[in-house]
Chains A and B, each alone.
Chain A
Amino acid sequence: MEREQNWSPVQGGAWLLRRALLGVATLLMISVVVFLGTQALPGDPAIAILGRDAAPDRVELLRQQLGLNVPVIQQYFNWLSGILHGDFGRSLASRRAVSGLLATRGLNSLLLVGLSAAICIPVSLALGGWSAMRRDKPADLSVWVLTTVLTALPEFIVGMVLVILFATTVTRLLPAVSMIPEGESPFYYASAFILPALTLVLATLPYLTRLFRGSMIEVLQADYVEMARLKGVMERRVVLRHAVPNALIPTVQGSALVLTYMAGGIVVVEYLFRFPGLGSALTDAIANRDLPVIQAIAVIQAALYVVVNLLADYLTIRLTPRLRTSHG
Chain B
Amino acid sequence: MNDFRDRREYMRELISRRRLLVMGAAAGVGLAVQPNIAALAQTPKKGGRLRIGMSQGGPTDTLDAHRVTNQADFARAFNLYDLLAWPNAETFELEMRLAESAEPNKAGDEWTVRLRKGVTFHNGKSLGADDLMFTVRRMMDPQSKLSAAAMIAYVDAKGMTKLDDRTVRFKLPKPNAEFLSGFATTTSSIVPADFDPANPVGTGPFKYKSFTPGDRSLFVANTSFWGGGPFVDELEIIDIADETARVNALLGGQVDAIASIPYTRIATVEGDASFKLLRSETGGWRPFTMRTDAPPFDNPKVREAMRLVVDREQMVEQALLGEGRVGNDLYNPFDPDFAKDLPQRKQDIERAKALLKEAGHDTLDIELVTAPVNAGVVEASQVLVEQAKAAGINIKLRKLDPSSFFGPDYLKYTFAVDNWSPTNSYLVQVAQADGPGAVYNETHFNDPEFNDLFSKAQQEVDAAKRKELIQKMQKIQYERGGYIIWGFANQIDAYSSKLAGFRPDRNGLPLTSFEFERVFFT
B240 touches A96 (CB 8 A): no
Q: Which chain B residues border A288 with CB–CB below 8 Å?
A: 58-60, 403
B265 to nearest A CB, angstroms? 10
Q: Which chain B residues border A293 with CB–CB below 8 Å?
A: 59
Task: Please report the C-alpha to C-alpha distance between residue A182 and residue B401 in the assembled complex, in whole angstroms.
Answer: 28
A176 touches B3 (CB 8 A): no
Is there a chain A Cβ closer than 8 Å to B294's Cβ? no
Contacting chain B: which of A48-56, A130-138, A228-236?
Answer: A48-56
B57 to nearest A CB, angstroms? 10
Name B401-417 residues within 8 Å CB distance of A: 401, 403, 408
Task: Please report the C-alpha to C-alpha distance between residue A94 and residue B213 in the assembled complex, in whole angstroms.
Answer: 7
Is there a chain A Cβ closer than 8 Å to B476's Cβ? no
Is there a chain B Cβ closer than 8 Å to A37's Cβ? no
Name B14's closest neighbour in chain A (CB-CB).
A52
Q: Which chain A residues border B242 with CB–CB below 8 Å?
A: 271, 274
Name B53-85 residues within 8 Å CB distance of A: 53, 58-61
Contact flags (1/0) for B16-57 with A, using CB distance below 8 Å? 110000000000000000000000000000000000010000
Q: Known A183-B212, A274-B242; judge A283-B1 contact (CB<8 A).
A: yes
B254 touches A177 (CB 8 A): yes
Is there a chain B Cβ closer than 8 Å to A181's Cβ? yes
Is there a chain A Cβ closer than 8 Å to B133's Cβ? no
Q: Which of B1, B15, B58, B252 counts the most A-chain CB atoms under 10 A from its CB?
A: B252
Is there a chain B Cβ closer than 8 Å to A273's Cβ? yes
A51 touches B13 (CB 8 A): yes
Q: Which of B14, B215, B248, B253 counts the most A-chain CB atoms under 10 A from its CB?
A: B248
Contact flags (1/0) for B353-397 with A, using CB distance below 8 Å? 000000000000000000000000000000000000000000000
Q: Which of B15, B17, B246, B251 counts the most A-chain CB atoms under 10 A from its CB?
A: B251
Q: Which of B1, B15, B238, B249 counts the most A-chain CB atoms under 10 A from its CB?
A: B249
Contacting chain B: which of A80-88, A113-121, A167-175?
Answer: A167-175
Main secondary structure of the interface of B (DSSP, over half): loop
Is there a chain B Cβ closer than 8 Å to A289's Cβ? yes
A273 touches B245 (CB 8 A): yes
Is there a chain A Cβ closer than 8 Å to B216's Cβ? yes
Q: Known A175-B254, A182-B212, A289-B403; judge A284-B249 contact (CB<8 A).
A: no
Name A287-305 residues within 8 Å CB distance of B: 287-290, 293
Q: Which chain B residues border A181 with CB–CB below 8 Å?
A: 212, 215-216
Name A174's closest neighbour in chain B (CB-CB).
B252
A101 to nearest B CB, angstroms? 7
8 closest A-B pairs by beta carbon, nearest first, are: A176-B248, A94-B59, A168-B251, A176-B252, A177-B249, A53-B16, A93-B59, A182-B212
Which B positions have Cβ atoms within 8 angstroms of A? 1, 3, 13-17, 53, 58-61, 145, 212-216, 238, 240-242, 245-246, 248-249, 251-254, 268, 401, 403, 408
Add 19 more A-B contacts to A175-B252, A177-B249, A179-B216 (CB < 8 A).
A93-B58, A94-B59, A94-B214, A167-B248, A169-B251, A172-B252, A176-B245, A177-B248, A179-B238, A179-B249, A179-B254, A181-B216, A182-B216, A271-B242, A272-B245, A274-B242, A284-B214, A287-B1, A289-B403
Ordered by A's residue number, 13 sampled pairs between the chains whose C-beta atoms are within 8 Å are A52-B15, A94-B61, A96-B213, A163-B248, A167-B252, A169-B268, A172-B251, A177-B248, A274-B249, A287-B401, A288-B58, A289-B403, A290-B59
